[in-house]
Amino acid sequence: DDEHEGHGILSKLFSSCAGDPKGSVHRAWGITLLFIVLFFAMAFVEVATLNKGDGSLALKVASVWTGIIQFIMAILGTFILKRFPTSFSVGFFLGLVVIVAQQNLVLFSTFHSYAHGTAHANHIFANLALSLFLIYGFFALILGHFRESVVTAQTDSRSAKSDVDDDATYEEMAR
DSSP state of 157: T
State the CB neighbour count (10 A cutoff) for residue 155: 9
Distance (Å, rounded) from C-alpha 121 to C-alpha 111?
Answer: 9
Give the model's pLDDT for residue 171: 63
Asked if the model's pLDDT at residue 77 lies above 90, the reply is yes
Mean of the pLDDT values across residues 140-157?
77
Give the model's pLDDT for residue 170: 59
pTM of the model: 0.78
85-129 pLDDT, tens per residue?
A: 999 999 999 999 999 999 999 999 999 888 777 888 889 999 999
Q: Tell which wins on pLDDT, 2 or 86.
A: 86
Residues ≥6 apart with Cβ < 8 Å to 100: 69, 70, 73, 136
With cut-offs at 50, 70 and 90, classify the pLDDT of residue 149. Answer: confident
Q: Tell which wins on pLDDT, 19 or 91.
A: 91
* Cβ pair 54, 116 in contact under 8 A: yes
Q: Tell which wins on pLDDT, 100 or 159.
A: 100
43-74 pLDDT, tens per residue?
A: 999 999 988 877 889 989 999 999 999 999 99
Give the model's pLDDT for residue 18: 73
Residues ≥6 apart with Cβ < 8 Å to 44: 63, 64, 67
Asked if the model's pLDDT at residue 155 lies above 70, the reply is no
Asked if the model's pLDDT at residue 4 lies above 60, the reply is no
DSSP 59-85: HHHHHHHHHHHHHHHHHHHHHHHHT--
158-161-162-165 Cα dihedral, nearest 10 degrees: 0
Distance (Å, rounded) from C-alpha 111 to C-alpha 137?
Answer: 20
